[in-house]
Amino acid sequence: MYAPGLINERASAENISRLIGFEVTQISEPRISELKSAKARLLGNAAKLLGVAEGHSFGTTFVPSPLFAVQAGQPDVVTLGTYDGGTDIAMAMKRLPDWTSVFCGTLQMSSETLRGLARLAGARVYCDTNDVISACPGFLSIHATEAGEKTLIFPRDVRLRDLYTGEDLTTARNRCTFPMVKGETRAFAWK
């Protein structure tokens, strides 16, 4: 995000390009002042790919300097989003032989976008709400950032044991749903 690898022996957009595997350029100062914000707005196909609403945006209302954009027209580079109020490419990805590189020029990324990227990479996503999840094989904890129903999603049907209460919960079709209040933390062992 923002400027990975910017500083090597010297600060340069070339350093970022070398690190991520495709070309980015520094947006000029006059162009930066034309931008409304440093928010990225996902394009329709990207939103669908990541499982978020079309037009989904994230980032900061202020515009940092320097600011970087992906150079348009590169082979195998997929544009995911542009800076709000402009055509500069704020987010793009390129599939390489052994990994996928994603550049996001914003200072912040929404949890919805991050979850979409995680799914795209094949990572396990245990919950679709913006709660704090900590997991490893056989253990999962959830901290509720908002009150409401929480649904945990597992790779298969599992048996859950609440580590605080000892209560056994079962999953139906690899899911378990329960209410939580804001600020509550629950921890589970599962097998």
80/97 Cα distance (integer angstroms): 20
Q: At 140, is the pLDDT very low, low, confident or very high (cuts 50, 70, 90)? A: very high
Name the residue with higher pLDDT: 40 or 85: 40
Whether pLDDT at 30 is above 80: no
Tell me: do 91 and 65 sit in the same domain.
yes
Task: Find the farthest-apart pair of alpha carbons in the chain and give their distance in angstroms, rounded.
Answer: 61
Number of domains comprising the chain: 2
3 is a domain residue: no
Q: Which residues are CB-contacts of 191 (< 8 A; sequence separation ≥ 6)?
A: 138, 158, 159
46/78 Cα distance (integer angstroms): 9
Share of the chain above pLDDT 70, in %: 100
Whether pLDDT at 176 is above 80: yes
Tell me: do 59 and 150 sit in the same domain.
no
The SS3 of residue 91 is strand
Tell me: do 107 and 138 sit in the same domain.
no
Whether pLDDT at 170 is above 80: no
Least confident of 37-41, 167-171, 174-178: 167-171
Tell me: do 113 and 142 sit in the same domain.
no
Range of the domain at 177: 132-190
125 is a domain residue: no
Quote the pTM value.
0.85
Tell me: do 116 and 44 sit in the same domain.
yes
Cis peptide before 64 (omega within 30 of 0): no
Tell me: do 22 and 112 sit in the same domain.
yes
Tell me: do 136 and 112 sit in the same domain.
no
Please answer whether residues 58 and 47 qualify as being in contact, where contact means their C-beta atoms are separated by less than 8 angstroms: no
Q: At 31, is the pLDDT very low, low, confident or very high (cuts 50, 70, 90)? A: confident
Average pLDDT, the chain: 92
80 is a domain residue: yes
Give residue 114's identity as a one-letter amino acid code: L
Tell me: do 87 and 169 sit in the same domain.
no
Q: What CATH number has the domain bearing residue 163?
A: 2.60.40.1180
Tell me: do 33 and 110 sit in the same domain.
yes
Total H helices, total E strands in the chain: 4, 14
84/90 Cα distance (integer angstroms): 9
Q: At 86, is the pLDDT very low, low, confident or very high (cuts 50, 70, 90)? A: confident
